[in-house]
Chains A and B, each alone.
Chain A
C-alpha cells in the first residue's frame, strides 16, 4: 500500500509540488493520491464575506476547482487523484483525520524562495504521525539519488523498512550514510583527536553500517558512506554531503537515538526541514 496525501496550500508552490509528486510516482509507483487542502479560517471573517457577497458556489467547491485546474496545468489526468477539502473542527480534527486515514505518506511543499511562512506545514508535520516528505521549489523534479541517514536507532530501522516498501528494487540509487563522532569522553585522556583514534572510530562505523546494510536493506550492493563529524552538528554534515554529492532526497527517522518523549521531531530532522535548506527531506515515523 502506497497511499499519498499531498497538501496544497493554494499558492504557486502547488504546481511545483505536483510536478515533483508526478515524477516520484513514475519512479516509485503509488496506489492512491489525494490532494488535500485545509481551510485554516474556521469562520470566514466579515471582511471576507462582504468582499465576495455573491459566491455562486461554496468555498470548498471553488478551491476544488482551483486544485483541479492546477493539476491539469502540470499534466495530471483527472482520474489520477482525488481531492479533499478539510474545513471543520480545526487542526485537532485535521490531525485526527489524517492519523486515522490509510495514507502512509504526506507531502508538503517547503518554501525557500516563494513568500509564505510555512508555519502551517511545520506545525502539522509535528502533529501527524505519518511519514512526511518535504519538497522544495528549488529541487529538481527528480528522485534518482536517495540517501538514508542511519544512526542505528529503532527509527533508522523503521526508515529502512519504509524505503524497502516504497521504493521498487531498481528504481533509485540508494545509499546509506552515517555520521560518526569521536566520543567526547576520550578527550581528557588523549588530549587531541589523534588521527589514529578517528581512524579506529571510522572502521567501527563502517563495519556497523555494513552490517546494517546487509541486515535490513533490499539492495545489499547499495553504497554506504561514513563521514567524520569533526565537531560539526550531524545535520550540517548530512546537508553538506547531500549538496555536494547530488543527493535528491535525504531520508531520516523522525527521531534518533535520544528518543525524548517531549520532542515530536528529533533535533537532526528538525534542522533538516528548516526553511533555508534546499534538499527535499523525507521524515519516516
Chain B
C-alpha cells in the first residue's frame, strides 16, 4: 500500500503537510465566511500596504542595487556550476528563454490596462495630456522593469549558485547554507520552504486569477458569454483539468511545445500590433520612454507618495506596492526557471542577461500595447478609456476593436491567455513540487497534479472571496514574509559567493604534476621489481 502510494507521492513531509494544511484552512475559511471576506481582504490589503509600503519600496531597490554590485564586483567572474562548467544553452537560446520568462499572463493582462489607467488618472501632478502620457509610461516601466528582474535575479542567482556550484538540492532552503549550515535540513529549513511554497502558490494564483478574468472578458466580447465569477470559476476548473490531463498522460513534451508555441504566438501578436497600430509612434515612443525611464529612475524608484494630502494618496498601495509584493511572492517560480537554464554562466553574464533582456522586451510590449492605447485616446480616435477603467480585463479587446481583424486578433488573445494559464499552472506546480519534495526534480506526477489543482482552487476561491482585491491581497500578504526571506537570502548569497571566490583563488595554485608523476612511477617500479623477484624465486 505504502509503495503504491509513493509511486504518486514522494514528499518531504515537514514541508508538504504544513503547506497543504495552511492552504486548505485558507480555502475553507474563505468559503465559510463568504460575503464578509471581501471586506476582510480589502482591510488586510489596505493595512499591509499602508504600513509596509515603504518597506517594499526600500527592499526592491536594495535587491536591485545588490544584484548590480555583485555582478560588477570581483564576484562577477564566478561561474555557476564551477570553474569548468559549460553553458548548457547557446547564448542565443538562453536569451530566448529569458525572453520567455518575461512573457506571462501578467503582461498580457496589464499591457494595455496599466498605461491607460495611469494616463487617465495620473499618479503624479501633470500639466498636460502629453505629460500624463509620459508619466503613465514611466510608471508602467517602473513596475515591469529592472526592479522586478532584480528580485528574480537575486532568487535565480541564489538558487543556481547553491544548486550548481555547491551541489545542494534545488530548493529555497539550500540558499541559506552559509548562514545556517546543516540546520537547513532541520525545522528552520522546513519553515523557509513552507513560506516559499505559500508565496509561490498565492503569487501564481494571482496570475491565474487575472488570466481567467481576462479569458472571461474575451469570451464575453467574442461570444457574449456572461462575465461573472461563476463563469470564471468554471473556466478555472476547465483549464486546470486540461492542464492536469496533459501532465497526467505524460505529455510533458506537449507542455514544452505548448510553451514554445506560446512564445511564437506572443511574438506574432506583438508584431501584429506594431504593424497594424501606429508603427512609427511605437518606435518613437519606445525610445522616448526608455530615456524618460533612465532619467527619472531614482525619483520613481524611491517615490513613496509621502506628500499626498491626507485622504488623497493611496494610489501607490494599489499599484507599486502590489507589484513589488507580487514579484516577490512568485520570485521562486521565475527564479527557479532562470536558474535552471543558466548553468555555466558567470555571475556577471547572469545579472546582465536577466536584468536587461526581459526588461527591454517587456518595455517594448508595454509601449506597443499600452502606448497604442494612449495614442488612440490622445488623438481622439476613440474614447476607450472609460471601458478600460471600469474593467481592466477587457482592455486588450477594447483596444483591438480599433484595428483591423478584430475578431481573429481577440480570438488569438484569448488563446494566448489560456495557453499561458496552462503552461504557468504546469510549470508552477513543478516548482512547488520540487520544493515540497526536498529539491527532487523528478518527483512523481501525482504530486504535480495535486499542486496544479491547488493553484486552480486557490485562484477560484480568491475570485469568489473578493475578485481583484482578493488576488492583490494574496500577493501582498504572502509577499511580505517572503521579503524577509529575500533579505536574508541576499546576505547568505554574498557569504557564499565570497567563499567561492576565495576557493577559486586557492584552487588556482599550481599543482606540481611532474613530482606527482615521479611518485607514481616509483610505486609502480617498486611493485615490478617485487614481481620479478617472486618470479625468480
Chain B's closest residue to A42 (CB) is B513
Known: A62-B524, A126-B506, A127-B506. A41 touches B513 (CB 8 A): yes
Q: Is A92 within 8 A of B506, CB to CB? A: no
Q: Is B527 within 8 A of A264, CB to CB? A: no
Binds B, one of A47-55, A159-167, A179-187, A198-206: A47-55
| A262 to B504 alpha-carbon distance, docked (Å) | 11
Question: A139: CB under 8 A from chain B?
Answer: no
Known: A65-B527, A263-B502. A40 touches B507 (CB 8 A): no
What are the residues of chain B within 8 A of A63 when measuring CB–CB?
523
Q: Is A261 within 8 A of B498, CB to CB? A: yes
Chain B's closest residue to A124 (CB) is B506
Known: A66-B523, A262-B498. A41 touches B516 (CB 8 A): yes
Q: Which residue of B513, B519, B521 contacts A51 across the interface (Cβ within 8 Å)? A: B521
CB-defined interface of B516-537 with A at 8 Å, one 1/0 digit per residue? 1101111110111000000000
| A10 to B83 alpha-carbon distance, docked (Å) | 28
Question: A113: CB under 8 A from chain B?
Answer: no
Most B C-beta atoms less than 10 A away, residue of A11, A91, A123, A262: A262
Instruction: Summarize B's interface: helix, strand, loop or mixed.
Output: helix
| A179 to B221 alpha-carbon distance, docked (Å) | 81
Instruction: Summarize A's interface: helix, strand, loop or mixed.
Output: helix
Q: Is B527 within 8 A of A62, CB to CB? A: yes
Known: A10-B523, A62-B527, A66-B523. A264 touches B516 (CB 8 A): no
Question: A144: CB under 8 A from chain B?
Answer: no
Q: Is B516 within 8 A of A40, CB to CB? A: yes
What number of A-B contacts does a CB cutoff of 8 Å give? 72
Question: A258: CB under 8 A from chain B?
Answer: no
Known: A62-B524, A92-B82, A126-B503. A11 touches B519 (CB 8 A): yes
Q: Which residue of B178, B503, B512, B517 contacts A117 across the interface (Cβ within 8 Å)? A: B512
Most A C-beta atoms less than 10 A away, residue of B82, B167, B507, B521: B507
CB-defined interface of A111-132 with B at 8 Å, one 1/0 digit per residue? 0000011011001001100000
Chain A's closest residue to B525 (CB) is A52
A-B contact pairs, 29 of them (CB 8 A): A10-B520, A10-B523, A40-B516, A41-B516, A41-B517, A41-B520, A48-B517, A48-B520, A48-B521, A52-B521, A52-B524, A55-B524, A66-B523, A66-B527, A90-B84, A91-B507, A96-B167, A116-B515, A117-B515, A123-B506, A123-B507, A126-B502, A126-B503, A127-B503, A261-B499, A262-B499, A262-B501, A262-B502, A264-B499
10 A-B pairs besides A47-B517, A59-B520 with CB distance below 8 A are A9-B519, A51-B521, A52-B528, A91-B507, A92-B84, A117-B515, A119-B509, A126-B503, A261-B494, A264-B502
